[in-house]
C-alpha cells in the first residue's frame, strides 16, 4: 500500500537536486536542459569566456589586418576581452555576488579581476613560451594555455574575487 506522502511521479514535471538545481525530466527536453545549464556558474562562465575570447581574437585579427604590430594588437585585443569579460561576468555569472556600484568593495573586485587576468596572461605566456622552447607547435601550446588559464581564472574569480557574502559571514 502506497503512503499518502509519496509524490505522484506522473505529476512531477521536474526533479530537484541538492543545492536547488532543477534537472529536466527527459533527455529530449531541450529547453529544460538550457534552463539547467544556465543554473550552473561554471557553464555560464564558459559561455562568457568564449564571448570575451571572440572579442579578443576578433579585434586582434582586425588590428593585424590594418597593419598594427602583433604585440600591440595582441595587448589591445586582450584588454578589450577583459573589459567584456568583466561586464558579462559581473552581470551574468556572478551577479548575485558582485558588490554594489560606487563602493570600495566593487573597486576592489575590479582590481582583483584585472589581477586575475594578468595572472592568466602570465600563465598563457609561460605555457606558450615553454611549448615553443620544447619545439611544440605554438598554436597547440596556445590551446593548452587557454584551457589552463581558463581554469585558473575561474577558480580565482569564483572562490576569491566573487566569493559569496554568506561565506564571509
In a domain, 2, yes or no: no
**pLDDT recorded at residue 146:** 86
In a domain, 81, yes or no: yes
In a domain, 161, yes or no: yes
Query: Where do we find the cell 559561455?
Result: 47
* pLDDT band, very low/low/confident/very high, at 167 (cuts 50, 70, 90): very low
pLDDT tens sequence across 116-126: 999 988 888 88
In a domain, 5, yes or no: no
Same domain flag for 101 and 55: no
> 45 pLDDT exceeds 80?
yes
Q: How many domains does the chain have?
A: 2
Q: Which of 142, 103, 97, 102 is nearest to 123 (CA)?
A: 142
**pLDDT recorded at residue 115:** 95
In a domain, 150, yes or no: yes
In a domain, 4, yes or no: no
pLDDT tens sequence across 64-115: 899 888 878 888 988 999 999 999 999 988 888 888 999 999 999 999 999 9
Same domain flag for 70 and 111: no
In a domain, 7, yes or no: no
SS3 143: helix
Residue ending a domain, among 67, 93, 119, is 93
In a domain, 122, yes or no: yes
Same domain flag for 77 and 119: no
Measure the CA–CA gap between 129 and 123, rounded to whole angstroms. Answer: 10
Same domain flag for 78 and 46: yes
> 55 pLDDT exceeds 90?
yes
pLDDT tens sequence across 20-43: 667 777 878 888 777 776 678 888
pLDDT tens sequence across 133-166: 898 887 888 888 888 999 999 999 988 998 864 4
Containing domain of residue 51, as a range?
14-93
Amino acid at each position: 500500500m502506497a503512503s499518502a506522502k509519496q509524490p505522484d511521479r506522473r505529476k512531477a514535471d521536474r526533479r530537484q537536486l541538492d543545492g536547488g538545481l532543477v534537472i529536466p525530466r527527459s533527455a529530449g527536453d531541450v529547453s529544460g536542459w538550457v534552463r539547467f545549464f544556465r543554473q550552473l556558474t561554471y557553464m555560464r562562465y564558459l559561455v562568457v569566456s568564449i564571448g570575451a575570447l571572440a572579442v579578443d581574437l576578433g579585434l586582434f585579427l582586425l588590428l593585424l589586418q590594418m597593419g598594427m604590430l602583433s604585440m600591440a594588437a595582441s595587448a589591445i585585443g586582450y584588454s578589450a576581452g577583459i573589459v567584456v569579460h568583466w561586464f558579462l561576468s559581473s552581470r551574468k555569472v556572478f551577479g548575485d555576488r558582485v558588490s554594489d556600484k560606487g563602493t570600495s568593495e566593487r573597486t576592489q573586485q575590479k582590481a582583483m579581476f584585472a589581477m586575475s587576468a594578468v595572472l592568466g596572461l602570465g600563465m598563457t605566456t609561460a605555457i606558450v613560451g615553454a611549448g615553443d622552447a620544447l619545439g611544440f607547435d605554438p598554436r597547440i601550446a596556445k590551446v593548452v594555455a587557454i584551457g589552463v588559464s581558463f581554469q585558473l581564472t575561474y577558480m580565482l574569480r569564483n572562490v576569491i574575487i566573487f566569493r559569496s557574502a554568506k561565506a564571509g559571514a
